[in-house]
Structure 1
Amino acid sequence: MAAFIIAVSGYVQNAYYKRKSAHWPSVEATVIDRLLQGSEPPDYCLEVRYEFNGRLFHSILRDNLHKVSDRMDVGEKLFVKINPENNSICYLG
């Protein structure tokens, strides 16, 4: 039952992030680190670097269901959506 609740809450949170960031600007980012979040099964989050409005940012990518973060390696590129109110917050684009 707990696994079901976790799965549903993850899906709801992912839908919220997707809706919230739908109209945010998208930029290319580079993975600079892979951080282990949990070990059963291994879950990772990504630290990314990107340029936005002429400034360089480092951020932890918000990838709630680990769709991308569990299979990306350091140095790989991906697109992220940038929060226009706080440019250091990014979601999977």
Structure 2
Amino acid sequence: MVLVEEGDGVAPADTEALEGAGATVTARGWTLAGVGNWRGYVPASTVYYPAGREAEARQLAADLGVSAVAPAPAGINRQRLTLIVVAPVT
């Protein structure tokens, strides 16, 4: 399951990137856990992963054209993959 959240790099009034990312996640065969707003800064769209799920996170990133993958820090869901979007994903 993948949680898609909007990062600070996305204008609050422009949810196109967030909704588009959710649609792209499901179109690529992933299960969408939900969408929401994340409060914090990330320099680029990033897939965060809990312990033991790095390979899965890298596959999701490759499927979406996202280059940044990192372990989930405090404040990010540590039960599932989380994509924080700051720009449209493909």
TM-score in same-fold range (> 0.5): no
Larger Rg: 1
Q: Name the structure where helix makes up a greater proportion of residues.
A: 2
Q: Name the structure where strand makes up a greater proportion of residues.
A: 1
Larger RCO, structure (CA 8 Å, separation 6 or more)? 2
Q: TM-score, normalised by structure 2?
A: 0.33
